[in-house]
Amino acid sequence: MEIIDKIGKYDNLAEPFHCDFSHRLFMGNLGNHLLNAADFHSRDRGFGMDYLNSINKTWVLSRLAIEMDEMPMQYENFCVETWIESAMRYFTNRSFRIVSSSDNDTRPKTYGYGRSIWAMIDTETRQPSNIFDVNDGTIMKYVENEKENPMEKLSRVKMADDAELVRTIETLYHDVDINGHINSVKYIEHVLDLFPLEWYRENTLKRFDIAYVAESYYGDRLNFYRETDAEDALAFKIRITKTPSRGGEEVEVCRSKLKFVQPINGFQKI
């Protein structure tokens, strides 16, 4: 059966073990739900990862940004809506909206939005692959350019060269995903783990941006460099580099940007 809806909607529950000390969903777990929604949406429409793999292609997540007015709380049901905002030859822009989905909601509450950029590559050459060649460009049928996403568009994260090295970690069994790469969600968690629990008592993560620059692998050491903002004490940029296990040059793998708010300006902690 062909699915004609351009927008995919996927229900989720903020599971208790996926919530932080403030009883709100961890940003990394929300990111996981967004990536699942993207996967389900594309599978259901004929350009999913499993079909692509069968023709030696795959989706690669290039950027992800999430901006929240409020994080779903423990046991709250929420729905991740996702749609393709635009598709170019080598990239698609995919949007997300996170809304409440409890039965007794008369008017669903919007928790926040997400934006992402995905590239299609050839799994053998690792080169960009033309998205319109897949299933006779079927993806174009699903481009939804009228649904609003009020988030600012993604922009390059510019970083100075003098960011401070704040942590180096080993990659372990749980860091590795089904493709043998370091899991996209784990990078988010490692970045957020750079801030002490006390920080999260006073400050709430409002927006998280991450650009995936290169892949890293089991055994690589990951180095985290932090740049503070002279004009905004609640804004940070983090560069992640890898030092390969066999030695060799340090290479940038991710770049991320965090914007916190204090509860009085943002949403209230319980």
Min dist CB 269 to a copy of itself, Å, is 13
Strands 8-13 and 77-87, bridge-based pairing: antiparallel
148: nearest Cα among 113, 117, 99: 113
Under the binding rule (CB under 8 A), the answer on residue 177 touching a copy of itself is yes
Residue 21: count of CB within 10 angstroms of its CB? 9
**Selected range binding a copy of itself among 126-134, 158-166, 182-190, 227-235, rule: CB under 8 A:** 182-190
Shortest Cβ 217–a copy of itself spacing (Å): 10
203 binds a copy of itself (CB under 8 A): no
DSSP 8-state secondary structure symbol assigned to residue 3: -
Angular region, 152: left φ>0, alpha ψ -120 to 50, beta rest: beta
Stretch that binds a copy of itself, among 12-20, 80-88, 124-132, 255-263 (CB under 8 A): 12-20
Answer yes or no whether residue 26 interacts with a copy of itself by CB under 8 A.
yes
Question: Is residue 173 within the footprint of a copy of itself (CB under 8 A)?
Answer: yes
Alpha carbon distance 185, 198 (integer Å): 23
Task: Answer whether 119's CB lies under 8 Å from 90's CB.
Answer: yes
Asked if 16 touches a copy of itself (CB under 8 A), the answer is: yes
Q: Which of 8, 19, 227, 256 binds a copy of itself (CB under 8 A)?
A: 19
Q: Which ranges constitute the DSSP H helices of 184-249?
A: 184-192, 197-202
Amino acid present at 60 = V
Q: Using the Cα atoms of residue 217, residue 14, residue 83 and residue 146 in order, give the sign of their dihedral.
A: negative
- Name which of 58, 52, 55 is nearest 179 in CA terms: 58
Number of residues in the chain? 270
Binding mask 57-96 for a copy of itself (x = CB under 8 A): -----------------xx---------------------
Q: For residues 73 and 13, is the Cβ–Cβ distance under 8 A?
A: no
- The DSSP H or E segment spanning 40 is helix 27-43
Residue 157 near residue 237, CB atoms below 8 Å: yes
Select 62 or 110, whichever has its Cβ closest to a copy of itself: 62
Instruction: Tell me, by CB under 8 A, how many residues bind a copy of itself.
Output: 37
Q: Which stretch binds a copy of itself (CB under 8 A): 77-85, 114-122, 176-184, 261-269?
A: 176-184
> Would you count residue 112 as binding a copy of itself (CB under 8 A)?
no
CB of 10 to a copy of itself, least distance (A): 11
Contact flags string 125-164 toward a copy of itself, x per CB under 8 A? ----------------------------------------
Residues binding a copy of itself (CB under 8 A)? 15-21, 23, 26, 28, 32, 35-36, 39, 49-50, 74-75, 172-174, 176-178, 180, 183-185, 189, 192-193, 195-197, 200, 218-219
